[in-house]
Structure 1
Amino acid sequence: MLKLVRALCLTACSLGSLTAWAAPDVWVGGVAPTPDPIFATSSGVLEAYYTAAMPGGLTVLVGVSVNGVDLPTLGLNNHASAYGDMLQLGSVNAGDKLEFFIQVVDGARYYTNPARNPDSFNHAWVSTYAGDIKVPAGTNIAFEDLSGGGDLNYRDHGITFRIAGAVPEPASALMMLLGVAGIAGLRRSKRR
Protein backbone atom coordinates (compact mmCIF):
# COMPACT_ATOMS: atom_id res chain seq x y z
CA MET A 1 0.00 0.00 0.00
CA LEU A 2 2.83 2.41 0.89
CA LYS A 3 4.48 1.73 -2.48
CA LEU A 4 1.22 2.55 -4.25
CA VAL A 5 0.89 5.87 -2.41
CA ARG A 6 4.50 6.77 -3.26
CA ALA A 7 3.95 5.87 -6.92
CA LEU A 8 0.81 8.04 -7.08
CA CYS A 9 2.64 10.97 -5.48
CA LEU A 10 5.55 10.68 -7.93
CA THR A 11 3.12 10.50 -10.86
CA ALA A 12 1.23 13.58 -9.67
CA CYS A 13 4.49 15.50 -9.21
CA SER A 14 5.68 14.50 -12.68
CA LEU A 15 2.42 15.58 -14.31
CA GLY A 16 2.56 18.90 -12.47
CA SER A 17 6.06 19.61 -13.76
CA LEU A 18 4.95 18.96 -17.35
CA THR A 19 2.77 22.07 -17.28
CA ALA A 20 5.84 24.18 -16.39
CA TRP A 21 4.61 27.74 -16.66
CA ALA A 22 2.12 29.50 -18.83
CA ALA A 23 2.54 33.26 -18.93
CA PRO A 24 -0.66 35.31 -18.77
CA ASP A 25 -2.27 36.47 -22.01
CA VAL A 26 -1.12 39.75 -23.49
CA TRP A 27 -3.29 42.58 -24.80
CA VAL A 28 -3.41 42.91 -28.58
CA GLY A 29 -5.34 45.50 -30.53
CA GLY A 30 -4.63 49.12 -29.67
CA VAL A 31 -5.44 50.89 -26.42
CA ALA A 32 -6.44 48.47 -23.66
CA PRO A 33 -9.76 49.01 -21.90
CA THR A 34 -9.51 51.28 -18.88
CA PRO A 35 -9.31 49.05 -15.78
CA ASP A 36 -12.05 49.13 -13.18
CA PRO A 37 -10.92 50.27 -9.73
CA ILE A 38 -9.22 47.48 -7.79
CA PHE A 39 -10.17 46.87 -4.17
CA ALA A 40 -8.57 44.43 -1.71
CA THR A 41 -10.96 41.52 -1.23
CA SER A 42 -9.36 40.47 2.06
CA SER A 43 -6.76 41.57 4.57
CA GLY A 44 -3.21 40.27 4.32
CA VAL A 45 0.13 40.72 2.62
CA LEU A 46 0.02 41.98 -0.96
CA GLU A 47 2.31 39.83 -3.11
CA ALA A 48 3.33 40.68 -6.69
CA TYR A 49 4.79 38.02 -9.01
CA TYR A 50 6.78 39.01 -12.09
CA THR A 51 5.06 37.83 -15.31
CA ALA A 52 6.36 40.04 -18.14
CA ALA A 53 6.87 38.00 -21.28
CA MET A 54 8.94 40.59 -23.16
CA PRO A 55 10.42 43.44 -21.09
CA GLY A 56 10.69 46.78 -22.85
CA GLY A 57 13.87 48.74 -23.39
CA LEU A 58 13.35 51.05 -20.41
CA THR A 59 14.18 49.92 -16.88
CA VAL A 60 10.95 49.68 -14.89
CA LEU A 61 10.01 48.85 -11.27
CA VAL A 62 6.55 48.09 -9.85
CA GLY A 63 4.79 49.48 -6.78
CA VAL A 64 1.33 50.09 -5.35
CA SER A 65 -0.72 52.96 -4.01
CA VAL A 66 -3.12 52.05 -1.18
CA ASN A 67 -6.02 54.45 -0.65
CA GLY A 68 -4.13 57.14 -2.58
CA VAL A 69 -0.81 56.76 -0.72
CA ASP A 70 2.16 55.29 -2.62
CA LEU A 71 3.84 52.60 -0.53
CA PRO A 72 7.65 52.90 -0.43
CA THR A 73 8.35 49.36 -1.69
CA LEU A 74 9.46 49.26 -5.33
CA GLY A 75 10.91 46.24 -7.09
CA LEU A 76 10.72 43.48 -9.69
CA ASN A 77 13.08 45.22 -12.11
CA ASN A 78 11.97 44.21 -15.60
CA HIS A 79 15.57 43.56 -16.70
CA ALA A 80 16.72 41.66 -13.61
CA SER A 81 13.63 39.65 -12.57
CA ALA A 82 12.80 36.13 -13.67
CA TYR A 83 9.31 34.83 -14.34
CA GLY A 84 7.73 33.99 -10.97
CA ASP A 85 9.97 36.21 -8.79
CA MET A 86 7.88 37.57 -5.91
CA LEU A 87 7.87 40.90 -4.06
CA GLN A 88 5.84 41.68 -0.94
CA LEU A 89 4.47 45.18 -1.44
CA GLY A 90 2.98 45.61 2.04
CA SER A 91 -0.09 44.83 4.11
CA VAL A 92 -3.60 45.76 3.02
CA ASN A 93 -7.06 45.59 4.57
CA ALA A 94 -10.25 44.36 2.94
CA GLY A 95 -11.83 47.25 1.04
CA ASP A 96 -8.59 49.21 0.48
CA LYS A 97 -8.37 50.83 -2.95
CA LEU A 98 -5.30 49.55 -4.82
CA GLU A 99 -3.66 51.42 -7.68
CA PHE A 100 -0.64 49.58 -9.03
CA PHE A 101 2.02 51.52 -10.91
CA ILE A 102 5.27 51.22 -12.75
CA GLN A 103 8.13 53.58 -12.07
CA VAL A 104 10.25 54.12 -15.16
CA VAL A 105 13.80 54.63 -13.82
CA ASP A 106 14.73 58.28 -14.54
CA GLY A 107 11.21 58.81 -15.90
CA ALA A 108 7.50 58.89 -15.24
CA ARG A 109 5.26 56.86 -12.95
CA TYR A 110 2.22 55.24 -14.61
CA TYR A 111 -0.77 53.98 -12.59
CA THR A 112 -3.63 51.58 -13.29
CA ASN A 113 -5.80 54.68 -12.82
CA PRO A 114 -5.23 56.80 -15.98
CA ALA A 115 -6.35 59.97 -14.17
CA ARG A 116 -3.13 59.81 -12.11
CA ASN A 117 -0.84 59.48 -15.14
CA PRO A 118 1.04 62.57 -16.38
CA ASP A 119 -0.29 61.93 -19.92
CA SER A 120 -3.79 60.79 -18.75
CA PHE A 121 -3.30 57.68 -20.92
CA ASN A 122 -4.23 54.13 -19.90
CA HIS A 123 -0.93 52.33 -19.31
CA ALA A 124 -2.36 49.09 -17.86
CA TRP A 125 -4.35 46.07 -18.96
CA VAL A 126 -5.93 44.09 -16.11
CA SER A 127 -7.12 40.47 -16.41
CA THR A 128 -7.58 37.41 -14.24
CA TYR A 129 -4.91 34.71 -14.28
CA ALA A 130 -5.50 31.06 -13.39
CA GLY A 131 -1.92 30.53 -12.22
CA ASP A 132 0.74 27.92 -12.91
CA ILE A 133 3.54 26.23 -10.97
CA LYS A 134 5.54 29.47 -10.59
CA VAL A 135 2.83 32.11 -10.22
CA PRO A 136 -0.34 31.61 -8.16
CA ALA A 137 -3.78 32.50 -9.43
CA GLY A 138 -4.59 36.17 -9.10
CA THR A 139 -5.08 39.39 -10.99
CA ASN A 140 -2.61 40.07 -13.77
CA ILE A 141 -1.58 43.59 -14.76
CA ALA A 142 0.40 44.24 -17.94
CA PHE A 143 1.94 47.70 -18.39
CA GLU A 144 2.96 49.94 -21.28
CA ASP A 145 6.00 52.06 -20.30
CA LEU A 146 6.03 54.76 -22.99
CA SER A 147 4.28 58.13 -22.77
CA GLY A 148 1.07 58.41 -24.77
CA GLY A 149 0.91 54.65 -25.30
CA GLY A 150 4.11 54.28 -27.29
CA ASP A 151 3.92 50.97 -29.14
CA LEU A 152 0.72 49.86 -27.29
CA ASN A 153 2.10 46.39 -26.58
CA TYR A 154 1.32 46.31 -22.81
CA ARG A 155 4.21 43.88 -22.32
CA ASP A 156 6.89 46.14 -20.90
CA HIS A 157 6.24 45.05 -17.33
CA GLY A 158 3.81 42.53 -15.93
CA ILE A 159 2.76 41.28 -12.51
CA THR A 160 0.16 39.00 -11.05
CA PHE A 161 -0.88 39.97 -7.56
CA ARG A 162 -2.68 38.24 -4.74
CA ILE A 163 -3.32 38.85 -1.07
CA ALA A 164 -1.67 36.11 0.95
CA GLY A 165 -2.86 35.02 4.38
CA ALA A 166 -4.52 37.23 6.89
CA VAL A 167 -2.31 39.50 8.92
CA PRO A 168 -3.18 38.81 12.56
CA GLU A 169 -3.72 41.72 14.87
CA PRO A 170 -0.95 42.03 17.50
CA ALA A 171 -3.24 40.81 20.32
CA SER A 172 -4.29 37.77 18.28
CA ALA A 173 -0.70 36.94 17.39
CA LEU A 174 0.31 37.18 21.06
CA MET A 175 -2.57 34.90 22.13
CA MET A 176 -1.58 32.35 19.47
CA LEU A 177 2.06 32.46 20.61
CA LEU A 178 1.03 31.99 24.25
CA GLY A 179 -1.18 29.05 23.23
CA VAL A 180 1.66 27.32 21.38
CA ALA A 181 4.00 27.92 24.33
CA GLY A 182 1.37 26.48 26.70
CA ILE A 183 0.96 23.32 24.62
CA ALA A 184 4.75 22.88 24.45
CA GLY A 185 4.93 23.26 28.25
CA LEU A 186 2.20 20.63 28.78
CA ARG A 187 4.01 18.16 26.51
CA ARG A 188 7.25 18.69 28.39
CA SER A 189 5.57 18.10 31.75
CA LYS A 190 3.90 14.88 30.48
CA ARG A 191 7.29 13.48 29.43
CA ARG A 192 8.65 13.96 32.94
Structure 2
Amino acid sequence: MSQHRTRAEQRRDTEARILAAARETFARLGYERTTIRAVAASAGVNAGLVMHYYGSKEELFSRAAKLPDDELPAGHPAEALLSTLRRRLDDEPVASLVVLRSMLTHAEASKEFRAAASGWLGRIGDAIPAQDADLRAGLISAIITGVVIDRYLLKLSSLADASADDIVSLLRPCFESLTNDPPH
Protein backbone atom coordinates (compact mmCIF):
# COMPACT_ATOMS: atom_id res chain seq x y z
CA MET A 1 0.00 0.00 0.00
CA SER A 2 1.65 3.22 -1.13
CA GLN A 3 0.90 6.46 0.53
CA HIS A 4 0.02 9.20 -1.96
CA ARG A 5 1.61 12.49 -1.01
CA THR A 6 0.24 15.85 -2.04
CA ARG A 7 2.28 18.31 -4.08
CA ALA A 8 2.37 20.65 -1.07
CA GLU A 9 3.87 17.87 1.08
CA GLN A 10 6.42 17.06 -1.62
CA ARG A 11 7.37 20.78 -1.88
CA ARG A 12 7.79 21.07 1.91
CA ASP A 13 9.95 17.93 1.95
CA THR A 14 12.11 19.23 -0.92
CA GLU A 15 12.48 22.62 0.75
CA ALA A 16 13.45 20.95 4.05
CA ARG A 17 15.95 18.67 2.27
CA ILE A 18 17.55 21.69 0.59
CA LEU A 19 17.73 23.57 3.89
CA ALA A 20 19.30 20.57 5.67
CA ALA A 21 21.86 20.24 2.85
CA ALA A 22 22.58 23.98 3.06
CA ARG A 23 23.14 23.80 6.82
CA GLU A 24 25.55 20.90 6.43
CA THR A 25 27.41 22.59 3.54
CA PHE A 26 27.64 26.03 5.17
CA ALA A 27 28.77 24.38 8.44
CA ARG A 28 31.47 22.41 6.64
CA LEU A 29 32.67 25.07 4.16
CA GLY A 30 31.56 28.43 5.52
CA TYR A 31 29.72 31.11 3.56
CA GLU A 32 32.43 32.08 1.09
CA ARG A 33 33.22 28.56 -0.13
CA THR A 34 29.64 27.28 -0.27
CA THR A 35 27.99 27.38 -3.70
CA ILE A 36 24.38 26.92 -4.71
CA ARG A 37 25.52 24.03 -6.92
CA ALA A 38 27.17 22.29 -3.94
CA VAL A 39 24.00 22.64 -1.87
CA ALA A 40 21.89 21.38 -4.77
CA ALA A 41 24.14 18.35 -5.30
CA SER A 42 24.01 17.54 -1.59
CA ALA A 43 20.21 17.80 -1.60
CA GLY A 44 19.88 15.76 -4.81
CA VAL A 45 18.17 18.56 -6.76
CA ASN A 46 19.22 21.00 -9.46
CA ALA A 47 20.56 24.46 -8.67
CA GLY A 48 17.52 26.11 -10.26
CA LEU A 49 15.26 24.48 -7.68
CA VAL A 50 17.40 25.84 -4.84
CA MET A 51 17.07 29.32 -6.35
CA HIS A 52 13.33 28.80 -6.84
CA TYR A 53 12.83 28.10 -3.13
CA TYR A 54 15.37 30.51 -1.67
CA GLY A 55 16.04 33.19 -4.31
CA SER A 56 19.70 33.80 -3.50
CA LYS A 57 22.67 32.41 -1.65
CA GLU A 58 22.23 35.19 0.94
CA GLU A 59 18.61 34.19 1.64
CA LEU A 60 19.54 30.51 1.79
CA PHE A 61 22.29 31.34 4.27
CA SER A 62 19.94 33.51 6.33
CA ARG A 63 17.48 30.63 6.64
CA ALA A 64 20.20 28.03 7.30
CA ALA A 65 21.82 30.23 9.95
CA LYS A 66 18.59 30.93 11.82
CA LEU A 67 19.36 29.83 15.37
CA PRO A 68 16.64 28.44 17.58
CA ASP A 69 16.04 30.32 20.82
CA ASP A 70 17.82 28.42 23.56
CA GLU A 71 15.67 28.29 26.63
CA LEU A 72 17.38 27.77 29.93
CA PRO A 73 15.86 24.61 31.43
CA ALA A 74 14.33 24.85 34.90
CA GLY A 75 16.43 24.03 37.93
CA HIS A 76 19.74 25.21 39.32
CA PRO A 77 21.48 27.39 36.71
CA ALA A 78 24.66 25.26 36.68
CA GLU A 79 22.73 22.06 35.99
CA ALA A 80 20.50 23.79 33.42
CA LEU A 81 23.54 25.12 31.56
CA LEU A 82 25.34 21.79 31.74
CA SER A 83 22.21 20.13 30.34
CA THR A 84 22.24 22.59 27.44
CA LEU A 85 25.92 21.91 26.83
CA ARG A 86 25.35 18.13 26.97
CA ARG A 87 22.64 18.45 24.32
CA ARG A 88 25.09 20.30 22.04
CA LEU A 89 27.76 17.67 22.67
CA ASP A 90 25.44 14.72 22.08
CA ASP A 91 23.74 16.13 18.96
CA GLU A 92 25.88 18.19 16.62
CA PRO A 93 24.33 21.70 16.61
CA VAL A 94 24.38 22.13 12.82
CA ALA A 95 22.57 25.49 12.75
CA SER A 96 25.01 26.86 15.31
CA LEU A 97 27.94 25.54 13.30
CA VAL A 98 26.68 27.36 10.20
CA VAL A 99 26.93 30.62 12.10
CA LEU A 100 30.13 29.82 14.01
CA ARG A 101 32.01 28.75 10.87
CA SER A 102 31.07 31.96 9.03
CA MET A 103 30.70 34.64 11.71
CA LEU A 104 34.21 36.05 11.41
CA THR A 105 34.04 36.53 7.64
CA HIS A 106 30.37 37.16 6.88
CA ALA A 107 28.33 40.05 8.27
CA GLU A 108 25.00 38.18 8.25
CA ALA A 109 26.45 35.33 10.31
CA SER A 110 27.96 37.79 12.75
CA LYS A 111 24.63 39.59 13.07
CA GLU A 112 22.74 36.32 13.59
CA PHE A 113 25.20 35.19 16.28
CA ARG A 114 25.01 38.51 18.15
CA ALA A 115 21.20 38.46 18.07
CA ALA A 116 20.98 34.91 19.40
CA ALA A 117 23.77 35.41 21.93
CA SER A 118 22.25 38.57 23.33
CA GLY A 119 19.05 36.84 24.38
CA TRP A 120 20.94 33.79 25.63
CA LEU A 121 23.29 35.93 27.75
CA GLY A 122 20.31 37.74 29.23
CA ARG A 123 18.63 34.46 30.22
CA ILE A 124 21.84 33.17 31.80
CA GLY A 125 22.47 36.45 33.64
CA ASP A 126 18.90 36.52 34.96
CA ALA A 127 19.40 33.06 36.48
CA ILE A 128 22.60 33.95 38.35
CA PRO A 129 22.12 35.53 41.80
CA ALA A 130 25.29 37.64 41.81
CA GLN A 131 26.05 41.34 41.33
CA ASP A 132 28.37 40.53 38.43
CA ALA A 133 25.87 38.16 36.78
CA ASP A 134 26.45 39.61 33.29
CA LEU A 135 30.19 38.97 33.49
CA ARG A 136 29.58 35.45 34.77
CA ALA A 137 27.05 34.83 31.97
CA GLY A 138 29.64 35.99 29.42
CA LEU A 139 32.24 33.61 30.81
CA ILE A 140 29.83 30.67 30.73
CA SER A 141 28.76 31.51 27.18
CA ALA A 142 32.41 31.79 26.08
CA ILE A 143 33.16 28.38 27.60
CA ILE A 144 30.20 26.73 25.87
CA THR A 145 30.99 28.42 22.54
CA GLY A 146 34.66 27.48 22.81
CA VAL A 147 33.89 23.85 23.58
CA VAL A 148 31.50 23.62 20.62
CA ILE A 149 33.99 25.31 18.25
CA ASP A 150 36.84 23.04 19.34
CA ARG A 151 34.74 19.85 19.27
CA TYR A 152 33.11 20.35 15.87
CA LEU A 153 35.09 22.90 13.85
CA LEU A 154 38.72 23.07 14.98
CA LYS A 155 39.11 19.55 16.37
CA LEU A 156 42.38 20.67 17.94
CA SER A 157 42.12 18.78 21.18
CA SER A 158 40.67 15.66 22.70
CA LEU A 159 37.34 17.50 23.05
CA ALA A 160 36.47 16.18 19.59
CA ASP A 161 36.43 12.59 20.86
CA ALA A 162 35.65 13.04 24.56
CA SER A 163 32.36 11.79 25.91
CA ALA A 164 29.76 14.38 26.81
CA ASP A 165 29.72 12.90 30.33
CA ASP A 166 33.44 13.52 30.80
CA ILE A 167 33.25 17.11 29.55
CA VAL A 168 30.21 17.94 31.66
CA SER A 169 31.76 16.32 34.73
CA LEU A 170 34.94 18.38 34.40
CA LEU A 171 33.03 21.62 33.83
CA ARG A 172 30.50 21.10 36.65
CA PRO A 173 32.63 22.72 39.42
CA CYS A 174 33.39 25.69 37.16
CA PHE A 175 29.72 26.23 36.24
CA GLU A 176 28.64 25.80 39.88
CA SER A 177 31.19 28.39 40.95
CA LEU A 178 30.08 30.84 38.25
CA THR A 179 26.35 30.44 38.95
CA ASN A 180 26.36 30.63 42.76
CA ASP A 181 26.13 33.83 44.72
CA PRO A 182 29.62 34.47 46.08
CA PRO A 183 29.99 34.95 49.84
CA HIS A 184 30.27 38.61 50.88
Q: TM-score range by the shorter chain?
A: under 0.3
**Higher strand proportion (structure 1 or 2):** 1
**Bigger RCO of structures 1 and 2 (CA < 8 A, at least 6 apart):** 1
**Higher helix proportion (structure 1 or 2):** 2
- TM-score relative to the length of structure 2: 0.27
- TM-score relative to the length of structure 1: 0.27
